[in-house]
Amino acid sequence: MAAKVKKAPRPKAETPKGFRDYFGADVAERKAMLDRIAEVYHLYGFEALESSAVETVEALGKFLPDVDRPNEGVFAWQEEDSGWVALRYDLTAPLARVYAQHRNELPTPYRRYAMGPVWRNEKPGPGRFRQFYQCDADTVGAPTVAADAEICAMLSDVLEVVGIPRGDYLVRVNNRKVLNGVLETMGLADDAQQAAVLRTIDKFDKVGEAGVRELLGKGRLDASGAYIDGVGLSDDQAAPVLAFLTSKGADAGRTLANLRDAIGASAVGAEGVAELETMAELLGAQGYGSDRIEIDPSVVRGLGYYTGPVFEAELTFEILDEKGRPRQFGSVSGGGRYDDLVKRFTGQEVPATGVSIGVDRLLAALRAKGRMGGATTGPVIVTVMDRDRMGAYQEMVAELRNAGIRAEVYLGNPKNFGNQLKYADKRDAPVAVIQGSDEADRGVVQIKDLVLGAKIAAEASLEEWKSQPAQFEIARSDLVAEIRKLLDKSDA
């Protein structure tokens, strides 16, 4: 008796947790969108950059959004010759490294765009993946807020170019210095209290003015009935924050005046308000009014590294959430000025500003509005009636392709003809071509109009069905011309 051979278990055919694959139309649609965005970036003078996906942990630094713990949130491992390395978690940290490394060869200012996947080692959830696309544009080495204004204008152009019409989005601009001015006037006890105030400001969208007032003071009973402790400020201390949050006026002039009140005598606050004013002027000169770009003091942006203007693009239309309730689509892009990121490497301050577009969210928005997809068509399928005449079928697809028509021969097992038509259906094929030896002898082919066929199957009576106008015979020599006619018809 032979000894039993122990078989190795089969590997599981699964992506690692939090990763996914993208097929056909999803890939094509994302590519089409990225191409359009790149065109706008290029028109504005930005140059492409593709940095390596792997960076040293040292170079990446501790700037991961929403993660305070060092080296948490990234995929990292140790290399013998490079020490700890990690997959990039965004495109901004790599840009700072690239600029520091190549600054002697690069032009200054350096306008660059970058698009590609980034990786986050976070808990995956529904619609939340560990690999996703970003599409950034940044200007390094331009100290003027004209650079920030340019980014906002470009962001507005990008949204319209990819298919979000004016009125369906808003680029909202704020300035960290204004916020710093407000905090300065409040005379806070320590950094911890300041951090608590910032966290409270971030909740303004959810809890409103009254809620923020309670949270800055003694605390608040939230919707679930739980009591949330307050920051413990007096009404007088809390006043500047509330003035700041409610400072949005009917127009930019009114908002700026309110902000000036909110910052009191703070010098850094005054600087922030002046920067916002300059941006509003520059954008106005280029025709970007408050229907596209507006000053909105409630924009905070989580990232700690912002030092001046911050901005956010919000889609203002409603979609239905997973429970069927209407809600605002919300933010698809954000950015701001970060003057200290390159300094980490070089010791010298290098001003920088930029924007990051959440490509997958933007695609989701376009799909939700029905502004994506549907236009893709499968190939013409040449079926195989006669295995020995494969060469003749290959000739047909070669002719069709040479005429620019997407076409293929069925290459599965041809025995069951029904399977071939099922395949054509699965591929969204507009046309199937059929030629048995009988047709070959007579120099003809059968053409099956699958678009019309599907329509008849859905709508036609039995009599119409039997008359089968969706299938007809043509001369072999007319193959390309007849199929082109059919495709033009179904395009129309």
CA distances from 421 to 383, 384, 397, 434 (A): 8, 11, 17, 10
Q: Does 11 bind its own copies (CB under 8 A)?
A: yes
Q: Does 97 bind its own copies (CB under 8 A)?
A: yes
Q: How far is the CB of 251 from its own copies (least distance, A)?
A: 18
Q: How far is the CB of 163 from its own copies (least distance, A)?
A: 19
In the complex with its own copies, the residue whose CB is nearer, 286 or 328, is: 286
Q: Does 375 bind its own copies (CB under 8 A)?
A: no
DSSP string covering 294-325: EE-TT---S-TT--SEEEEEEEEEEEE-TTS-
> What type of residue sits at position 348?
Q
Quick one: which of 32, 36, 51, 239 contacts its own copies (CB under 8 A)?
51
By CB under 8 A, which span of 57-65, 219-227, 306-314, 467-475 interacts with its own copies?
57-65
Q: How far is the CB of 143 from its own copies (least distance, A)?
A: 7
Q: Which residues contact 320 (CB under 8 A, 6 or more apart)?
A: 326, 327
Q: Which residues contact 135 (CB under 8 A, 6 or more apart)?
A: 34, 37, 113, 114, 115, 356, 357, 359
By CB under 8 A, which span of 52-60, 325-333, 360-368, 477-485 interacts with its own copies?
52-60
In the complex with its own copies, the residue whose CB is nearer, 16 or 374, is: 16
> What type of residue sits at position 19?
F
Q: Does 408 bind its own copies (CB under 8 A)?
A: yes
In the complex with its own copies, the residue whose CB is nearer, 87 or 170, is: 87
Q: How far is the CB of 320 from its own copies (least distance, A)?
A: 26
Q: Does 56 bind its own copies (CB under 8 A)?
A: yes
Q: Does 125 bind its own copies (CB under 8 A)?
A: no
Q: Which of 287, 288, 317, 482 minimizes the C-alpha distance to 403? A: 482
Q: Which residues of 464-487 are buried (b: 16+ CB within 10 A; e: fewer)?
A: eeeeeebeeebebeebbebbeebb
Q: Is 90 annotated as a binding residue?
A: yes
Between 442 and 481, how does the x/- string for binding to its own copies read (CB under 8 A)? ----------------------------------------
Q: Is 301 annotated as a binding residue?
A: yes
Interaction residues for its own copies, span 140-179 (CB under 8 A): 141-144, 146-147, 149-150, 153
As a whole number of angstroms, the distance between CA 178 and CA 201 comes to 13
DSSP string covering 323-350: TS-EEEEEEEEEEEE-TTTTHHHHSS--
Q: How far is the CB of 372 from its own copies (least distance, A)?
A: 15
Whether 218 and 235 have beta carbons less than 8 Å apart is answered as no
By CB under 8 A, which span of 18-26, 162-170, 366-374, 471-479 interacts with its own copies?
18-26
Interaction residues for its own copies, span 334-353 (CB under 8 A): 344-347
Q: Exposure of 327 by Cβ count < 10 A (0-12 exposed, 13-18 middle, 19+ buried)?
A: exposed
By CB under 8 A, which span of 82-90, 166-174, 239-247, 478-486 interacts with its own copies?
82-90
Quick one: which of 91, 409, 431, 452 contacts its own copies (CB under 8 A)?
409
Q: Is 190 annotated as a binding residue?
A: no
As a whole number of angstroms, the distance between CA 92 and CA 59 comes to 11
Interaction residues for its own copies, span 275-334 (CB under 8 A): 281-282, 284-287
**# residues near its own copies by CB under 8 A:** 98
Q: Which of 123, 49, 132, 130 minimizes the C-alpha distance to 92? A: 49
Residue with tokens 């608590």: 196
Residue with tokens 């080495």: 141
Quick one: which of 270, 274, 368, 392 contacts its own copies (CB under 8 A)?
392
Give the strand pairing for 110-119 and 219-221: unpaired
In the complex with its own copies, the residue whose CB is nearer, 281 or 321, is: 281
Q: End-to-end CA distance of the chain: give it in Å, rounded.
A: 72
By CB under 8 A, which span of 16-24, 331-339, 456-464, 472-480 interacts with its own copies?
16-24
Whether 367 and 373 have beta carbons less than 8 Å apart is answered as yes
CA distances from 309 to 207, 281, 306 (A): 25, 14, 8
Quick one: which of 6, 12, 69, 323 contacts its own copies (CB under 8 A)?
12
Q: Does 394 bind its own copies (CB under 8 A)?
A: yes
Between 410 and 449, how does the x/- string for binding to its own copies read (CB under 8 A)? xxxx---------x--xx----------------------
Residue ranges for the known binding site are: 90-92, 120, 134, 138, 301, 305-306
Annotated binding-site positions for L-histidine = 90-92, 120, 134, 138, 301, 305-306
